[in-house]
Amino acid sequence: MTDNPFRLDGRVVAVVGAGSGIGEATAHRAAQQGAHVASLDLDAARAEATARAIVAAGGSAESASVDIREAAAIRSCFDGLRARRDRLDAVVCTPSINVRKTLLDYSEEEFEGVVALNLRGSFNVLRAAGAIMTQAGRGSIVLVSSIRSLVVEPGQAVYAMTKAGIVQLVRTAAAEYGPRTVRVNALAPGVVDTPLTAPIKSNPSWYAAYTDKNILKRWATPDEMAWPTVFLLSDAASYVTGTVLFADGGWTAQDGRFTPPGM
């Protein structure tokens, strides 16, 4: 453990989904804390742009394109990173998609698409990272869940199912990897200004409803998700595993439907 347990000096951190949103912000903040960052994304150009920006700011980074829906692809990516850098200390997995439709309107193809990326992709990352880290006897993995793992609304069934599934994957992996000193946790964001939530932002009443629902009465920035994630990666969270860190502005802390008179 370093003198500053929040630092990541000398560590190799792979961020899947680093081309945009929470993943991009996390890649930058991990590099700012001293890590060498592998910027990974399905979009090679976006992954490279993030890595270039990190290097331009004085950090250390590389990039690659990877499709986490393909187990062999993510295994090869992580194995190559470990071979080049002689270690893999931390992995963050952020990619998700959401098809907002009622259960009766959902098609089988849409169901398969959401599950393939959100759940199977996270499963593939968890296994590929775990194989390396349990052998090394150290590491930290963070998967991105959501407030939808606990609370739902019409049109969120399949997305919510995958985010709840990620929580159980994290808990099980924490139990299985823990004896090898590998920690596994989940971050559960609330409403964050990212490409995934663009359809909500484009609808003023929808945007306002989400703003009013949380205690802080505003949306989060990607950076406000990146810092909690970096905390979970660091030695500052050395006794934190198998948990879900809600960074939701208080969304899940209150019902918020009615304020009693006189308050």
pLDDT above 70 for 121: yes
The C-alpha atoms of residue 247 and residue 191 are separated, in whole angstroms, by 9
Rounded Cα–Cα distance for residues 65 and 207 (Å): 32
Average pLDDT over residues 47-55: 98
Q: Is 155 left (phi over 0), alpha (psi -120 to 50) or beta?
A: left
Q: So what's the pLDDT on residue 224? A: 98
Pick the closest to residue 89 from 47, 41, 34, 43 (CA basis).
34
Judged against a pLDDT cut of 70, whether residue 1 lies above it is answered with: no
**175 phi, psi to nearest 5 deg:** -70, -40
- From the CB of residue 9, how many other CB atoms can be counted at a distance below 10 Å? 10
DSSP state string for 144-213: E--GGGT---TT-HHHHHHHHHHHHHHHHHHHHHGGGTEEEEEEEE-SB-SGGGHHHHTSHHHHHHHHHH
pLDDT of 83 reads 98
What are the pLDDT digits (tens) for 77-108?
999 999 999 999 999 999 999 999 999 999 99
What is the C-alpha to C-alpha distance for residues 101 and 123, in angstroms, rounded to an integer?
24
Give the span between the Cα atoms of 57 and 236, in whole angstroms. 25
Domains of the chain as residue ranges with CATH: 12-245 (3.40.50.720)
Is pLDDT of 134 > 90? yes
Q: Which residues are catalytic?
A: 159
pLDDT on residue 4: 95
Vertex 13 angle, CA 12 and 14, to 5°: 125
Distances (CA, A) of 25 to 16, 72, 212, 221: 12, 27, 25, 9
In this prediction, residue 91 carries a pLDDT of 99
Contacting residues for 164 by C-beta, under 8 A, at least 6 apart: 145, 148, 149, 150
Residue 257 has pLDDT above 70, yes or no: no
Give yes or no for residue 56 having a pLDDT over 90.
yes
- How high is the mean pLDDT of the chain? 95
Q: What does the alpha-carbon distance between residue 173 and residue 90 come to, in Å, rounded to a whole number? A: 14
CA atoms within 13 A on the CB side of 184: 29
